[in-house]
Amino acid sequence: MRRWKIVFCWFLCFTLTPTCWCARAKYAKKLLTDLMSNYTKALIPVDDTNTILNVTLQVTLSQIIDMDERNQILTAYLWIRQVWFDAQLKWNTEDYDGLDTIRIPGSYLWRPDIVLYNSADDRFTGPMDTNVVIRHDGQMMWDSPYITKSSCKVDVSFFPFDAQQCRFTYGSWTYNGNQLDIQNAMESADLADLVENVEWEVLGMPAKKNIVQYGCCADPYPDVTYTLKLKRRASFYVFNLLIPCVMISFLAPLGFYLPADSGEKVSLGVTVMLALTVFQLLVAEIMPPSENVPLIGKYYIATMTMITASTALTIFIMNIHHCGPDAKPVPKWAKKVILQYMARVCFVYEVGENCMMSQPEKHEAPCAKSSSMNGQVGSGMDECVSKADRSQETEASITTEQKEDLDQLTGLSSSVRKNPTNNCTWQSGLFTSLDCGDSGSHRRCRKGGVSDEGKKDGDLFCRGHSDEHLLLLRDIEYIANYYRDQRATQKRTGEWKKVAKVLDRFFMWMFFILVFFMSLLIMGKAI
């Protein structure tokens, strides 16, 4: 028995449900016919023409599709809801089997001509033609999705750490404020269904009602403006544009560290300049051609200016480094300022010097007292030795070049002293021979300034020399004087090379500090 009751219930459900559906569809069709019988969509739906029709606007931001900074166009996906009351579309629910709402195509009804004032779409397309939900009390609710292209004033002064504000201004195109008034449903747009953008972070979208009087008309025109506040996610640009530029910028000061003889100092500066030019072109393609130079563009320009200055200074320093033998001596102020103070500050030292002070090497006297042959001792050499001893007592320090000169000249003098018949002396830094000629085998040549009592010790006896010995003495004199001139030239060029090296190190540290502070400044904008 119970089984038959269940079957009967199922039979009633399947039998009566289509009847209810047919009844509801029948009343909906009858309601649509009654509503549209005397309805016109050409006129604003108010009972009195002096009555103001209120339209409530609500915007939901669904997605930010694209931000074109160069053309200053924002493409966004919005859901727009418009609510108003139509005095001609009312009915009694009891007359239509309790039917309180009906959905009909929007093309059948009057709809407010609310448009986006700052639209930048070339096709001038409006919202999608969706159905309108009608309540029995005449409330009309029209929901439609809308892909908008709006103009947005882009300020790229702090790119890539910039924030933008894009406005969406909605208002009636033909009705003024005395006929149609627009209201905002909420204080801000709805962001509950927002799809996060990979480049932009949405901070908010507040709404504000404005009443504007245009120059063409004296009537007020109300509108609702939604301000979309965006902040750029700078990680992409930091890792792809900023950090490579910083790394390339730190290569520029290293050009001063390269040896001048390598021939790659200027090439490095030019290569870094070309690399930064490529990054500058990438930024220029993204940014609009406005007067506001972006922050990263300023950084590129400052870095390129610094590299240009470093390349010019490198050329100037290389010119100093490659001074020829005809160069003038280093001025005294340059020796004091550059070779003494700046060299210690920039940690430039000679070989064999420590970080605190120079340690002169011990050296032998340039002229040593030679052993006599056949009981004779050269008085000229004794005088040279005595002068060297006195100079060692009076002078506190001797440079490396002077040490080498003295060592070389000592070797030359020792080679001359091997022949007892050679008479030579050093006068005023020149190696000269006492040529007495062949007038006699025992002709006596006396040095000036020696008393008669010291003739035996001070006189130089000239012996007969062969032509080969005289030529040998003159050759040694020429070689010694030439070597002295060459060492003086090398010393002069060496000083200029040290000046160039000190300037290289000084500018290297200075440009390193400049690059560090510029990078720190632009990174600080991200905080």
**Residue 172: strand pairing partners:** 114
CA separation for the pair 216, 183 (Å, rounded): 23
* CA atoms of 412 and 218, how far apart (whole Å): 112
User: What mean pLDDT do residues 337-343 have?
Assistant: 79
Q: What is the DSSP letter of 263?
A: S
Mean predicted confidence (pLDDT) in 85-112: 91
Q: Which helix (H) or strand (E) holds 200?
A: strand 200-204
Taking only the tens place, the pLDDT of each residue in 12-61 is 444 444 444 455 678 889 999 999 988 988 889 988 888 899 999 999 99
Residue 323's alpha-carbon distances to 22, 413, 487, 498, 505, in angstroms, are: 108, 32, 15, 11, 19
Helix or strand run (H / E) with residue 377? none
Q: What pLDDT does 110 receive? A: 93
Q: Is 11 exposed, middle or buried (0-12, 13-18, 19+ CB in 10 A)?
A: exposed
β pairing state of 200-204 and 207-212: unpaired
What integer pLDDT is reported at residue 26 of this predicted model? 86
Residue 394 has pLDDT above 50, yes or no: no
What pLDDT was estimated at residue 10? 46
Q: Is 70 exceeded by the pLDDT of residue 239?
A: yes
Joined together, the tokens standing for residue 406 give 């003295």
Helix/strand/coil for 73: strand
CB 187 within 8 A of CB 57: no
Distances in whole angstroms, Cα of residue 131 to Cα of each of 83, 88, 135, 313: 13, 18, 13, 74
Percentage of residues in the chain with pLDDT exceeding 90? 27
Residues 446-501 pLDDT 10s: 444 444 444 444 444 444 456 778 888 888 888 888 778 777 777 777 788 888 88
Whether residue 123 is predicted with pLDDT greater than 80 in this model: the reply is no
Q: Are 366 and 381 in contact, with CB atoms under 8 Å apart? A: no
User: Which residues lie closer than 8 Å to 59 by C-beta, 6 or more apart?
Assistant: 78, 79, 80, 81, 168, 170, 189, 190, 205, 207, 226
The predicted pLDDT at position 2 comes to 47
> What are the structural domain ranges in the chain?
25-232, 237-345+513-526
- For domain 237-345+513-526, is the CATH number 1.20.58? yes
Distance CA 383, CA 407 (A): 18
Q: What is the mean pLDDT of residues 228-250?
A: 89
Topology given in CATH for the domain delimited by 25-232:
Acetylcholine Binding Protein; Chain: A, (2.70.170)
How far apart are alpha carbons 129 and 116 in whole angstroms?
A: 16
Average pLDDT in the 176-195 region? 92
- Return the amino acid letter for 50: N
